[in-house]
Amino acid sequence: MTSPSLSGGACGLALVDPEKRRITERTENIVALYVVAVTGASGAIYGLRIIGELLKRGDDVDLIISPSGFLILKEEAGLDLRGRGGGGGGSVAAGIRSCLEEPRGRGKRGKGKRPVLKGRLNFFPSDDLTASCASGSAGVEAMVVCPCSMGTLARIASGASTNLIERAADCALKEKRTLVVVPRETPLNTIHLENMLRLGRAGAAIVPAMPAFYNRPAAIDDMVDFMAGKVLDMLGLENSLYKRWKK
């Protein structure tokens, strides 16, 4: 599977809506590329679920994890990937992939099934400002920051671009691509709220990690699926990850 080059080949150009700079048509053999960043807020499991869903669809994912994101992945998901980071992106991606390929045993959906991940997962260290997604010209469909710490939120809102996560998000905003930010913190101070407002005004979709209960979640998995489904909705990707109201 290959990703379309939105900046180059005729194939890619034909797919781009010049108004929105987003892929408007998809064919079986065209793969979209999403950037997903996992930062040091609680809720790494949401990010993992989103990555898994994109890969299941057959889309490719460029993954960036902040140093604090690695810490949270270890604390919350038992994924100790830090030693792998130094040895090259391949081993971080392999670690995430094997975690995502584990059969899910709980929740209403996917009981015991081993997910088939068709897309490619590429890991980039957060200090690698030479990565393709550090440029607005990269053929990226959309970016998701999930979970998003208040620190990363503030730096994206300020346009600081001090690392690859902030720079890729800056590129998404300047190129008018979809940027979905999933902040997690409670309670929120006015600095957090103002940063969210600023980002929302700049065009980002703010999707706070706030699972609902009207769908009667029976397990944590259902709550995670709800949030992942909400993010996929914002990306314009059809999904049945959560039970929609009155459906």
Which residues of the chain form contacts with ligand FMN (CB under 6 A)? 39-42, 66, 68-69, 71-72, 75, 149-152, 184-185
What is the nearest approach in angstroms of ligand FMN to the Cβ of residue 207? 15
What is the nearest approach in angstroms of ligand FMN to the Cβ of residue 184? 4
What is the nearest approach in angstroms of ligand FMN to the Cβ of residue 46? 11
Give residue number: closest CB to ligand FMN: 40
Q: Which is nearer to ligand FMN, 17 or 127 (CB)?
A: 127
Q: Which is nearer to ligand FMN, 3 or 66 (CB)?
A: 66
Q: Which is nearer to ligand FMN, 47 or 139 (CB)?
A: 47
Q: How many CB atoms lie within 10 A of CB 186?
A: 10
Residue 212 and residue 160: Cα distance in Å, rounded?
Answer: 33
* Closest C-alpha to 54, from 139, 136, 122, 130: 122
Residue 171 and residue 178: Cα distance in Å, rounded?
Answer: 10
Residue 101 and residue 103: Cα distance in Å, rounded?
Answer: 6
Q: Which is nearer to ligand FMN, 5 or 42 (CB)?
A: 42
Residue 58 and residue 52: Cα distance in Å, rounded?
Answer: 10
- The strand order across the sheet containing 121-125 reads 121-125, 60-65, 33-38, 142-148, 178-183, 205-206
What is the nearest approach in angstroms of ligand FMN to the Cβ of residue 109? 26
Q: Which is nearer to ligand FMN, 4 or 40 (CB)?
A: 40
Distances (CA, A) of 73 to 68, 79, 97, 136: 9, 5, 13, 28
The type of residue at 46 is Y
What is the nearest approach in angstroms of ligand FMN to the Cβ of residue 152? 4
